[in-house]
Amino acid sequence: MKYEDFIDNEYLEKMAEQLREGGTNVVLGCLDDLINWGRSNSLWPLTFATSCCGIEFMAVGAARYDFARFGFEVTRASPRQADFIMVAGTITHKMAPVLKRLYDQMADPKYVIAVGGCAISGGPFKKSYHVVNGVDTILPVDVYIPGCPPRPEAMLYGLMQLQRKVRLERFFGGVNKQIGKKEYEELMRRDLTAEKIDLNVETEHKL
């Protein structure tokens, strides 16, 4: 929210002035900015990689490129604790439902980065019988990082684009609840009785 959008700026500023005179330090700002500042600087990735790009992802985490400088170092092995998923590598037909399931297990707000040619479009394996042509056919992708594999610098640039995106979001009433109240309740109830629906399994085998 911009400064001009506040309706009673004057009243707030006067109050702050009074408080400062009394010796209390007050800073006025927007809570969304504060939260987004925190969120964008501690994005936790899921340790997920299928192929070559995963090695470069590891290199980004290691000594020279060190993504801890930007707050990405807490890689989580469980999707339930991760903020975003780097789809690093080719996604095949057999992997696609697994990836979807991982994404579904992540808590909102969550983000997806498609790393490398394979995740963007199928890359060199576009014509293969077993490769998904672009991970955006199954997941909503926030940032694309092209390359085969992308250089670590490119990955850092892509990660920083994600940070930019996070900073511009409205957290309250926005990304913290991306769905309506009714839908939300339904989802919660479904989580409790998660059996067949969440397992996404066809009961009958078609051959």
Partner 1 sequence: MWKRNTSYNMTIREKITAWEPAAEWSAEGDGMLTVPVETFHDLAVRLKREGFDFLRSLTGMDWGEGRFGAVYHIESTATGENIVLRVFTPAPDKCGLPSVGDVWKGALLNEREAYDYFGIQFLNHPDMRRLYLRDDWVGHPLRKDYDPALNPLRMNNEVSQDSTPHFELMPDGSLIRKREVIFDEGEYVINVGPQHPATHGVLRFRVSLEGEIIRKLDVHCGYIHRGIEKMCESLTYPQTLALTDRLDYLGASQNRHALCMCIEKGLGLEVSRRVQYIRTIMDELQRIDSHLLFFSCLCMDMGALTAFFYGFRDREKVLDILEQTTGGRLIQNYNVIGGVQADIHPDFVRRVKEFIAYMRPTLREYHEIFTGNVIARQRLVGTGVLTREDAISFGATGGTGRASGWACDVRKRHPYAMYGEVDFDEVLFTEGDCYARYMVRMREIEQSLRIIEQLIDNIPEGEYRTKTKPVIRIPEGTYYSAVEGSRGEFGVFIESRGDKSPYRMKFRSTGLPLVSCLETIARGAKIADLIAIGGTLDYVVPDIDR
- Interface with partner 1 (CB under 8 A): 47-52, 54-56, 58-59, 62-64, 77, 79, 89-90, 92-98, 100-102, 124-125, 127-132, 137-138, 148-149, 151, 199-202, 205-207
Q: Which is nearer to partner 1, 96 or 141 (CB)?
A: 96
In whole angstroms, how close is the CB of 134 to partner 1 at the nearest point?
11
Q: Which is nearer to partner 1, 27 or 201 (CB)?
A: 201
In whole angstroms, how close is the CB of 156 to partner 1 at the nearest point?
14
Q: What is the distance between the alpha carbons of residues 56 and 152, in angstroms, rounded to a whole number? A: 6
In whole angstroms, how close is the CB of 36 to partner 1 at the nearest point?
29
Pick from 96, 93, 86, 98: nearest CA to 147:
86
Q: Which is nearer to partner 1, 2 or 206 (CB)?
A: 206
In whole angstroms, how close is the CB of 59 to partner 1 at the nearest point?
6
Pick from 80, 54, 158: nearest CA to 112:
158
Q: Which is nearer to partner 1, 100 or 177 (CB)?
A: 100
Pick from 88, 151, 99: nearest CA to 123:
88
